[in-house]
Structure 1
Amino acid sequence: MTVLDTRTEPAAATASAAASRDQRRSELANFLKACRARVSPEAVGLPAGARRRTPGLRREEVAQLAGVGVTWYTWLEQGRPINASEQVLEAVARTLRLDSTEREHLFRLAGLTPSRRDDMPCPILDPVSQVILDELSPLPAAICNSRYDLLRFNGAYDALFPGATRPSAPQGRRNSMWCAFTVPACCNPFLNRDEELPRMVGVLRGAYGRHVGEPAWEEYIRDLAAASPEFRELWARQEVAPPRTSRKVFRHALVGEMCFQASYLTIPAAPEAYLVIYTPESPRDRELVEQLVANPSARATDPGHVHIR
């Protein structure tokens, strides 16, 4: 009989926790640097000066405006293991002009907001959720998680985005972010990309703050950055955005261009999941969706157009 030595397990757990803390501090450092670079001296009442080598505020200026020590703030931005109180972080957030979503992201990275560990790509959903989705037809609707994985959807959604709901989805991933950035422009149905892609990445960045260091998330970000230079560039901006109703413009191979308002509803039983509903902007847009829903044999031949959150 083999006897397992479990004495190394606490040490391994400690090492893993330490690695996660180090990665969180690194993420905090990068976020603070990016936020500091976005604030002009004029915006906070300081002279621009003629010898500035970098855009935005200097570290000592942030420290002065926030009422903290220059050394302390420098260490915070360098990702050193120092403690930060809620009061001090509030002052830093005000100085850097962070909105509520960015402030929450800052607090999480600093370890002041409890992180809910939910590394499962598919949370357990109540069977009634599919009934609700089906009842929403002909409005396209789906349930996704905070990593943009597609969990459930109705027939109208399948009619509109067959490239994301079926096994032919890129790399076998039922994931709208992956589709948005990896499907070639010739086949990508997403038309208002310049407006929506930065917002999508900002929402993902906010969710990532709750999962820094988790293997599934780190692999997802790493793979997507490797597959898409455009995603890699947007991710490097360190921008955080809140989920909100947004306008989506799509081009479908069978019926042409359609416009929707995408609305997002949270699901209390699955905190990291949300319901997205696409409401047609005009009677014409609704008519086109109804045509797709009523003609399943035709929509099945759609050559891989995909869903974008």
Structure 2
Amino acid sequence: MEHSDSERLQELARFLRTRRARLAPEQVGLSACGRRRTPGLRRGEVAQLSGMSVDWYTWLEQARDIKVSPQVLESIARALQLDVNERKHLFVLALRQLPTDSSTNESVVNPMLQTFLDLQGANPAYVTDHRLNVVGWNLAACLVYGPYPEMTPRERNSIWRTFTSPYVRELLQEHWESHARHRLAHFRANYARFAGDAWWMQFIEELHEASTHFKAWWPQHDVLDRPEGRKINYHPVAGTLVFDQISFQTTGSPDLTITVNMPSGDSDTASKMDTLLRSSKKDSPC
């Protein structure tokens, strides 16, 4: 076993012991019979509540290199009454991945994050979730990439829009294919966590029907984590816009990706964006 794996399993064992120690039998519906030399639940009680053997649970607390399924971890999380963050921590330590449903209720842009987007001013900025749905944006992004408030949820999915929207094609022109392949590789990397999930399977099937390019490129299995770098857009009003793009995540919502497009310093994009923002009407859907 590699040293990194050994340390991870030791950390898992310590985490389980601390969470077991904080629970009294009465908190989980057990009677507190007999004297206890240490606080909290006994290993056998956690095993009982989890529906697993005492030996198997004991091996986890002994940092043994054993295989555990997500179902077993879910049972342990319920038995130890772990909160959302603790449950995620358990999965990362045991499987080196988040629970597959960890992002179900996190695709919401909170007021602080929206304020951050708005403060970007002439920098088009938006937020995507793990499915590449655009779930937040500022005025600059709306003016460049389209009226997000008027779009359907499907249209706000950036992978769907990349492969089906004539506007995106015109915005990218000769750069469309490289962008589409890049976006598809990002989507494919995210899909690895949800392979077989009903939403993803249906969405991928519909994209196969909607786009011959997607149908041809999906079997190539290209993967990419975070899209960054130089982006060139051909806006119907502002003309050629050159951006330097950076993407990052927040600690509070790890499945939300914030993307900021900064006008390139060696172009006139900044002044064009200022003009575009000033000329936008007050009743703009953005």
Deviations 1:191-227 (A, max 9, x none): 3123222121111111000011222222221212211
Cα distance change on mapping 1:272 and 1:168 into 2, 3 Å: closer
Q: Does 1:139 align with 2:123?
A: yes
Q: Does 1:264 align with 2:247?
A: yes
The amino acid that maps onto 1:270 is S
**Equivalent of residue 174 in structure 1, options 156, 159, 183:** 156
**Equivalent of residue 138 in structure 2, options 109, 134, 154:** 154
Alignment partner, residue 208 of structure 1: 191
Higher relative contact order (CA 8 A, sep 6+): 1
Alignment partner, residue 208 of structure 2: 225
Q: CA RMSD in A?
A: 2.9
Cα distance change on mapping 1:188 and 1:180 into 2, 3 Å: farther
Alignment partner, residue 178 of structure 2: 195
Helix, strand or coil at the partner of 2:170: coil
The amino acid that maps onto 1:254 is V
Alignment of 1:243-258 (within 5 A): 243-258=226-241
Cα distance change on mapping 1:186 and 1:172 into 2, 3 Å: closer
> Within 2, Cα distance between the matches of 1:224 and 1:145?
18
> Within 2, Cα distance between the matches of 1:194 and 1:234?
11
How many residues get paired? 192
Alignment of 1:1-309 (within 5 A): 113-118=96-101, 120=104, 123-163=107-147, 165-168=148-151, 172-184=154-166, 188-191=170-173, 192-281=175-264, 282-297=266-281, 300=284
| Residue ranges of structure 2 left out of the alignment (5+ in a row) | 1-66, 68-93
Deviation at 1:134, TM superposition (A): 0.7
Cα distance change on mapping 1:122 and 1:180 into 2, 3 Å: farther
Assess if the C-alpha contact under 8 Å between 2:128 and 2:257 holds in 1.
Answer: yes
Assess if the C-alpha contact under 8 Å between 2:106 and 2:253 holds in 1.
Answer: no
Cα distance change on mapping 1:186 and 1:239 into 2, 3 Å: closer
Deviation at 1:187, TM superposition (A): 5.8
The amino acid that maps onto 1:180 is T
> Within 2, Cα distance between the matches of 1:256 and 1:299?
23
Helix, strand or coil at the partner of 2:136: strand
Cα distance change on mapping 1:240 and 1:172 into 2, 3 Å: closer
Deviation at 1:299, TM superposition (A): 10
> Within 1, Cα distance between the matches of 2:171 and 2:277?
18
> Within 1, Cα distance between the matches of 2:283 and 2:180?
26
Assess if the C-alpha contact under 8 Å between 2:154 and 2:160 holds in 1.
Answer: no
Deviation at 1:121, TM superposition (A): 7.8
Cα distance change on mapping 1:146 and 1:298 into 2, 3 Å: same
Deviations 1:112-160 (A, max 9, x none): 6434313638623332001111111111101111221011111111111
Cα distance change on mapping 1:112 and 1:226 into 2, 3 Å: farther
Identity of aligned residues (%): 20
Assess if the C-alpha contact under 8 Å between 2:122 and 2:273 holds in 1.
Answer: yes
Deviation at 1:286, TM superposition (A): 1.0
Assess if the C-alpha contact under 8 Å between 2:162 and 2:169 holds in 1.
Answer: no
